[in-house]
Structure 1
Amino acid sequence: MTNVKYSVLDLAPVVENSTVQDSLMNTLDLAQHAEKWGFERFWLAEHHNMPGIASSATSVVIGHVAAGTSTIRVGSGGIMLPNHAPLVIAEQFGTLESLFPNRIDLGLGRAPGTDQVTAMALRRDRRSDGNDFPEQLEELRAYFNPSLSEHTPAVHAVPGEGLSIPIWLLGSSGFSAQLAGQLGLPFSFASHFSPENTIPAINLYRRSFTPSSVLSEPYVMVGVNVIAADEEHQAKRIATSMQQSFLGLIRNERGKLRAPIDEIESVCTPYEKAILDKQLGSSIVGDASNVEEKLTAFIAETGADEIIVNAQIFNHTDRLRSYEIVSEVMKQYNAK
């Protein structure tokens, strides 16, 4: 038997003609179903100034989801560390871990998770561009474990200090891949929007890996878009909501997640369609048999220890069914 774990990456989508409250209720409902279906973890992502994403206060939403579930791990995919003082993140996740012991993950990224104007509003300093991410990470880890610091700390994270919270590095390029490898930390790659960099980054991580007190060997999680439905044509139609969302980013037109349409080509130029195909090139769209075939090939190509599935789907019932199909496929895969 194989044992590739499968998890959920939820962007807490706010769909047209709905509210943030609706989105956060749906997020919790999805997490409760994911727990029942055997998903390993449920991660939420930090994004700002995006009307279609409700998870900007990521730590708060993690608490909301963890309080409404009982066994599934809940965490960040990720917290954009340069947007925050490391002490604040240590205290927030120390609080979460104290409330929900052994269920909290801290995934960290170095991108702003937004546009540059919003990043400036968050960071208040033009020099905070993510280049000091390794130093920020070192400071954060020392708040949890002061023995990692060269100096006796004058500031303590309360709660936080002494707690063992898994830290993951997230990336869409080689920077975090290499850093995660050097530090012996688990690595999660964003193949769901950066497919062309997937294999080079994973290979770099594995080449750079140094065993640590955290991991004795590399551990790779790979993000992938999966839109599944009972019928192939239904899945393709449902996937046009995700395509429209990326099209909005290309055009710098941000809005709520749009209802599906018959064909994405009807609303975009050939040039825009080419960009969509590049960014969403690793997406898996189809019925159960198609999803099984493509996920099997994806896992074989990446050597992933775990996949984390993103599904930007307009209708919540369709979103639940998509993740249910993924769980059925992965249970069959792991039973082989």
Structure 2
Amino acid sequence: MNSQLKLSVLDLVPRLGESSFEEALQQAVILAQKVEAWDYGRYWAAEHHDLEHLSCASPEILLSHIGARTTRIRLGSGAVLLPHYSPLKVAENFRMLATLYPGRIDLGVGRAPGGSAHTSMALSGNFLANVADMPNRVQALKALLSDSYAYEDVPVTAKPVPRIPPELWMLGTNVKSAAMAAEFGTGYVFGQFMSDKNGAEVLRTYREVFQPSSLLDRPRSIMAVGVICAKTEEEAVRLTEKASMPGPGLPEGQTENDSYSRLLTGTPEQIRAKLLNMSVQAQCNEFLVFTPMDRYEERLESFRLLAGAMLDEINE
């Protein structure tokens, strides 16, 4: 396998310290601009609802704003929470983005609630029933993105129709989500930083049962990892001890301490070695990097240091 790694960014769009929601969204733009300059391949924004310290309820709106302020980095959702929405409306939103920003749009979908039980019910009613309908919604979304959807045998097209379609990815933390992505022939992102499963085994399952589709002819995978990178080991430990991990949305039975233990922490050289080893074990050469910090400046520095380490690897 090619050892050259690709780095991308997952942004939960947090409110850090005493920042306002407005400041948090401005920091999202700054992060996207910086990581584009540092040659990260993708910037993905997460979706959450009614959470005190997370600011992005509508990734598609934020991505449109960031698209106008960047030039080449791919922009995506990590993830649109499909049980809440009509597949047609999701397809229309991301085809609109793909028309505005050709060749730059990723549509990542997931099935998490993204907030509390009451918030989920206020958003879309019976969430459990909607989750049970997830395979039908993915099938409909896939059909809409390949212009083969019909409602009561009448063709329906998600417009506008972009010259370059958005890439469809499914996000998950276990074999079940990997198998669903494989069944529908989509790309798959495994959330290692949120999962106690063996990422190499989950991605192996995805590759082994993948079925080519109208959207994707071969399996494509990304691993989402938590990273705290600093100039020294001591600084990395200090930053980890005061890191801000996401609360709601952790898998059942998992605590924040479990998530901390899965963070990759260390110097640029140490993180580079860990990612290279994970890449070989999982046969995956792209990492979606989530960096939990309590200061925006420290978060940017971690991404900058990591980019420098990986550029050295690519240039060897």
Segments of structure 1 that go 5 or more residues without pairing to the other structure are 252-271
Aligned length: 313
2:116/2:248 contact within 8 Å kept: no
SS in 1 for 2:194: coil
Partner of 2:55: 54
Q: CA deviation at 1:294?
A: 1.7
Q: Is the 8 A contact 1:90 1:140 kept in 2?
A: yes
Q: Does 1:294 align with 2:274?
A: yes
What whole-Å deviation, never above 9, does each CA across 1:59-106 have from its counterpart, x for those lacking one? 111111111100000010110100111111112112111211111100
Unaligned runs of 5+ in 2: none
Which stretch shows the higher mean deviation, 103-112 or 290-299?
290-299
> Does the 8 Å CA contact 2:99/2:163 hold for their aligned counterparts?
no
Q: What are the equivalent positions in structure 2 for 1:6-17 lying under 5 Å apart?
A: 6-17=7-18
Q: CA deviation at 1:287?
A: 1.5
Is contact 1:181-1:210 (8 Å) kept? yes
- The RMSD of aligned alpha carbons is 2.4
Match of 2:74 in 1: 73
Partner of residue 36, structure 1: 37
Shift of 1:135: 0.6
Structure 2 residue 303 is the aligned partner of structure 1 residue 333: no
Query: Contact 2:77/2:108 (CA < 8 Å) preserved in 1?
Result: yes
Aligned pair in 2 of structure 1 residues 130, 203: CA closer, same or farther (>3 Å)? same
Q: Under a length normalisation based on structure 1, what TM-score does the superposition of the two structures give?
A: 0.85
Decide whether aligned partners of structure 1 residues 156 and 318 sit closer, same or farther in structure 2, where only a CA change above 3 A counts: same
Query: What is the CA–CA distance in structure 2 between the aligned matches of 1:72 and 1:119, rounded to whole Å?
Result: 32
Runs of 4+ in 1 over 4 A off after TM superposition: 148-152, 160-163, 248-251
Residues 1:305 and 2:285 aligned together: yes
Question: Match for residue 322 of structure 1?
Answer: 302
Q: CA deviation at 1:150?
A: 9.1
Q: Is the CA contact (8 Å cut-off) linking 2:102 and 2:164 kept in structure 1?
A: no
- Partner of residue 5, structure 2: 4
Aligned to 1:105: 106
Q: Alpha carbons of 1:211 and 1:241: their partners in 2 closer, same or farther (altered >3 Å)?
A: same
1:244-259 maps to which residues of 2 (within 5 A)?
244-246=244-246, 249=248
CA pair 158-211 structure 1, distance change in 2 beyond 3 A:
closer
1:277 Cα deviation from its structure 2 partner: 4.2
Q: CA deviation at 1:43?
A: 0.3
Identity %: 30
Instruction: Tell me, yes or no, if the aligned pair for 1:186 and 1:219 is still in contact at 8 Å.
Output: yes
* Secondary structure in 1 matching 2:75: strand
Deviates more, 1:43-52 or 1:296-305: 296-305
Instruction: Classify 1:121/1:160 alpha carbon distance in 2 versus 1 (closer, same or farther; 3 Å).
Output: farther
**2:96 matched to 1:116?**
no
Report the alpha carbon displacement of residue 9 of structure 1 after superposing the two structures with TM. 0.3
The code of the aligned residue for 2:281 comes to E
Partner secondary structure for residue 313 of structure 1: coil
Q: State whether residues 81 and 109 of structure 2, in contact with CA within 8 Å, keep that contact through their aligned partners in structure 1.
A: yes
CA contact (8 A) 2:182 2:219 kept: yes
Instruction: Check whether the contact 1:15–1:314 (CA below 8 A) recurs between aligned residues.
Output: yes
Offset, 1:155? 3.5
TM-score scaled by structure 2?
0.90
* Residue in 2 that maps onto 1:132: 133
Structure 1 residue 304: Cα displacement: 1.2
> How far does residue 335 in structure 1 lie from its aligned partner after superposition?
3.4
